[in-house]
Amino acid sequence: MENKTIRDNLLKEVAPHLERTTPAALAWILFLLSIIGLGIFAFITQVTKGHIVTGMRDNVVWGIYIVNFIFFMGMSYAGAIISGTLQLFRTEWRKPIIRLAEYLAIISLLIGPGYILLCIGRLDRLYYLALFGRIQSPITWDVIAISTDIFGCLIFLYLSTLRDIANLRDFKELNLPRWRKKIYSILALGYEGTPEQEKRLKRATDIMAAMVIAIAIIVYSVLAWIFSVTLQPGWHSTIFGPYFVIAAIYSGTGVLIIAMWVFRKVYHLQQYITRKHFVAMGVLMVVLAALFGYFTFSDYLTKWYGSEKNDESLIKILFSQYYWPFIFSNYIGVLIPLIVVGIPKLRSITSITISALIVIVALWFNRYLIVIPTLESPYLPIQDSRPEWLNYSATWVEYSLTAAGVALFCLLYTLASKFIPVMNVSEMADVPGTDKTEGPFLTEESLL
């Protein structure tokens, strides 16, 4: 089924990414490592001096750590849902970009939980979660859900890269040290593309694609429930589960577009990742923008219209103290993609990428506005003479660790792209149309 010439040409195209590390790439990696180093220093400071070095206090007990947690986890679920859906529907244009979505799913899933650990006062007792876990606690649900998700995403990633690993093993022109070839050989599991192997691989991949979608929805809902099961005025909302899921996919779409843009530029993949892919992702982003806007509107409308005392004061804070972040995250962050991608004339790779960037930042602020203003306006008014007890503002420790998380994300993405090609070479080499009937859904047309 594979077209060998196409495949070998593609492999030749991506081989330099695996073989060489350019000085620029090296500098980039060193730069990331130095930011991570700063993060490690900040972490050590926090462990030795206590959480007093953060901006968190008795009212705002969770700060930007939890915002980052929601943010990274959201990206992960977006990656899982996008790659899973595209896989199941056998969407033709998925092939050059699906690997990026799979990377997104697993890499942000490895970083996200780190942020919730930073909120924990006694890391030395972390194993108590396993030892004394209570099923009633949403945190326990989250621990179970995230660890299940990590396994699921790893299996899915492995299944969908297996054919490429086998290709790399068999590609004789690849100029790599022996140990790396050995690793490919072990990881390839002796896959040779026999009909039976192919059938089994397809079946397993489809099942896991369906699973990662389901798990991503459940896991992100669980994360939303951590907030909505409490009685806090801004959190106690039934809509939070689906709202978070939509917001997650929305932000993840943005990150994926950025990743496409970056790898397209750095690895010169203009030939493969084209305007068509950007527009396809852009359309997906527009649909999600509309959904996200709808959920945001419903959530705040019901709070505002019913105007319970505490909801009202929360809305008041959002429209006074947090006016610009609120406008930016919930208006601009929705309208920009709607306009840019919605009007065909405005669609271009650059415009879509810029609006994706805006979406990502807006969504980060959206989470900030969900977490912090709520904690700043509890049922009983905060009466304290210390300003840091009244209002939250993150310290250098928190910012450093946030930067370190982003740096680690970029580093892992870079390293992953150096190990397994960022494009799904084997699928791209498949003869178009041959696998359509084998998918679980009979879709004749792709999204575009």
Partner 1 sequence: MEEKDKDKQKKSRREFLKKSLIAGVGVVTGSKLIAAYIDKSRLESGEKVKALTTHGEIIEVDKAHIHTPRVSIKESHKGIPGRKFVMVIDLAKCKNARKCVESCQKGHFLPKSQEFMKVYLLQDSEKSAPYWFPKPCFHCDNPLCVSVCPVGATYKRSDGIVLIDNERCIGCKFCMTGCPYSTRVFAWKKYPEFEGDKQPYSPEASSPGKEGTVSKCDFCPDLVRIGKLPYCAQNCPMGVIYFGDIDEDSVTNGAETLRFSELIRDRAGYRYLETLGTRPSVYYLPPVERQFPVDKGFNGLDKNVKNRYENTPYSKTHKL
Partner 2 sequence: MKGFQKVSCFLLLVILDCFQIKVFSQEQKDSLADINTKISLLYLNTSNDTVVLTANLFVSRDQGPFALQNAEIEFTATAGKEIKLLGETKTDDQGNAVLKVHVKSGLPCDKDGKTVYLVKFNRKGKYLSSAESITAKLAKITVNFSKEDSLRFIKVNANQFESTGEIKPVTKEKVIVYIPRLFNLLKIGEIALDDNGEGRIDCPENLIGDSLGNITVIAKIEENDTFGNVQGQSSITWGIPKQYYLAEKPTRELWTPIAPIWMIVTLIIMLTGVWAHYLYAVSQLIKIKFARKKDLF
C-beta of 110 vs 154, nearer to partner 2:
154
Nearest Cα to Cα of residue 154 among 408, 406, 416: 416
**Does residue 218 bind partner 1 (CB under 8 A)?**
no
Burial 118-153 (b: 16+ CB within 10 A, else e): beeeeeeeeeebeeeeeeeebebbbbebbeebbebb
Residue 27 interacting entry, from partner 1, partner 2, none, C-beta within 5 to 8 Å by type:
none
Q: Tell whether residue 350 is a contact of partner 1 (CB under 8 A).
A: no
Number of alpha helices (DSSP H) and beta strands (DSSP E) in the chain: 17, 0
Q: Which does 5 bind (CB under 5 to 8 A by kind): partner 1, partner 2, none?
A: none
Of 38 and 229, which CB lies nearer to partner 1 in the complex structure?
A: 229
For 268, other C-beta atoms within 10 Å of its C-beta total 12
Q: Are 88 and 206 in contact (CB under 8 A)?
A: yes
CA distance 400 to 41: 9
CB of 149 to partner 2, least distance (A): 9
The answer to the question of residue 382 lying near partner 1 (CB under 8 A) is yes
Q: Which is nearer to partner 2, 158 or 419 (CB)?
A: 158
213, with CB counted inside 10 A (0-12, 13-18, 19+), is buried
Tally of CA atoms within 13 A in the half-sphere of 289 that contains its CB: 27
> Using CB under 8 A as the criterion, which residues of the chain lie in contact with partner 2 when the complex forms?
134-136, 141, 144, 148, 151-152, 155, 158-159, 162, 189-192, 194, 196-197, 200-201, 203-204, 207-208, 211, 214-215, 218
- Which one of partner 2, partner 1, none is in contact with 317 (Cβ closer than 5 to 8 A by kind)? none
Do the beta carbons of residue 158 and residue 99 sit within 8 Å?
no
Q: How far is the CB of 143 from partner 2 (least distance, A)?
A: 12
CB of 44 to partner 1, least distance (A): 15
The least CB distance from residue 129 to partner 1, in Å, is 6
144: tokens are 């179970």
Query: Among 6, 25, 119, 183, which residue interacts with partner 1 (rule: CB under 8 A)?
Result: 119
Under rule CB under 8 A, residue 377 binds partner 1: no
**Location of structure tokens 């609120």:** 326
Residues contributing to the site for partner 1 (CB under 8 A): 49-52, 56-59, 61-62, 116, 119-122, 125-126, 128-129, 131-134, 136-140, 143, 226-227, 229-232, 235, 375, 378-386, 390
